[in-house]
Amino acid sequence: MTMVRCDMTMSLDGYICGPEAGQSGYLNEGFFRITSWLTELASLAAEPGGMAGGVDVTDVDDALVAEMFAQAGAYVMGRRMFDSGEGPWGPEPPFPAPVFVVTHRERAQLERDGGTTFFFVTEGVRAAVDRAKAAAGDFHVHVSGGAQIVQQMLAAGLIDELHLHISPVLLGGGTRLFSGDLPHVIELERFRVADSGNVTHLSFRLPTIPRCPLAAAAASD
């Protein structure tokens, strides 16, 4: 059974990027501060599109990134994240697999080096997940953001595992991962905690029945 896994790095105060405006969108100074644990890793540098030269590698972080790449058979991402990354990722984006971009704008598929093909899905997030699952084969579907797509997927019960990588910094403002409009409380099962000093990795399973009203959750305690 193909699983849908979402990995997001956020600051301790819940931001996935800083408040700075600009053409870079998500990929601003705050973003690079909190994702430095990831962008500086050797395992990422060894992948197509790897962004750095392997400084500050830690075993914990490195093992986690290796796990992510080993599992990923396809990716789902939001349009805003794609727009932010299309330029900076260059000819070999760090997603060596089919990538399904949820968007309202039709666009022909986009081939890149290293195994990346971007497909633009205009039928909504559920359709993008279905196509990604079909493409992933024996591997898993990975969701890398941005915030809106993660929120939509949580609300729709489309995520099986949520991996939050918490950077020990208070950005004080920016784009929140959790925008505060989930229709229901979601109880999670925390199944892994790992900490490298650079970042704390918390891994959760989401329930098969992903939504429960707060009253029901309290009653079952």
From the list 31-39, 73-81, 84-92, 140-148, the region that binds its own copies by CB under 8 A is 31-39
How far from 98 is each of 31, 45, 83, 206, CA to CA, in Å? 24, 20, 17, 24
Q: Tokens 């990134």 — which residue?
A: 65
Which listed residue (25, 30, 96, 146) binds its own copies by CB under 8 A?
Answer: 30
Instruction: Give helix 147-155 / helix 125-136 axis angle, nearest 10°.
Output: 90
Contacts from 50-55 at CB under 8 Å and sequence distance 24+? 50/94, 51/94
Q: How many CB atoms lie within 10 A of CB 215?
A: 9
What does the per-residue mask of binding to its own copies show for 33-62, with x meaning CB under 8 A? x--x--------------------------
Counting contacts by CB under 8 A, is residue 100 touching its own copies? no
- Least distance from C-beta 126 to its own copies, angstroms? 19
Counting contacts by CB under 8 A, is residue 181 touching its own copies? yes
How far from 184 is each of 18, 156, 157, 205, 215, CA to CA, in Å? 27, 10, 11, 17, 10
- Least distance from C-beta 135 to its own copies, angstroms? 28
Q: Is 154 exposed, middle or buried (0-12, 13-18, 19+ CB in 10 A)?
A: buried
Give the residue among 43, 37, 69 at the shortest CA–CA distance from 56: 37
Counting contacts by CB under 8 A, is residue 25 touching its own copies? no
* Residue 21 vs 108, nearer CB to its own copies: 21
Which listed residue (183, 208, 209, 216) binds its own copies by CB under 8 A?
Answer: 183
Encoded amino acid at 55, one letter: V
Counting contacts by CB under 8 A, is residue 126 touching its own copies? no
Q: How many residues interact with its own copies (rule CB under 8 A)?
A: 46
Q: Tokens 């931001």 — which residue?
A: 15
Counting contacts by CB under 8 A, is residue 216 touching its own copies? no
Q: Which residues bind its own copies (CB under 8 A)?
A: 12-15, 18, 20, 29-30, 32-33, 36, 154, 164, 166, 168-174, 176-178, 180-190, 193, 195, 197, 200, 202, 204, 214-215, 217-218, 221
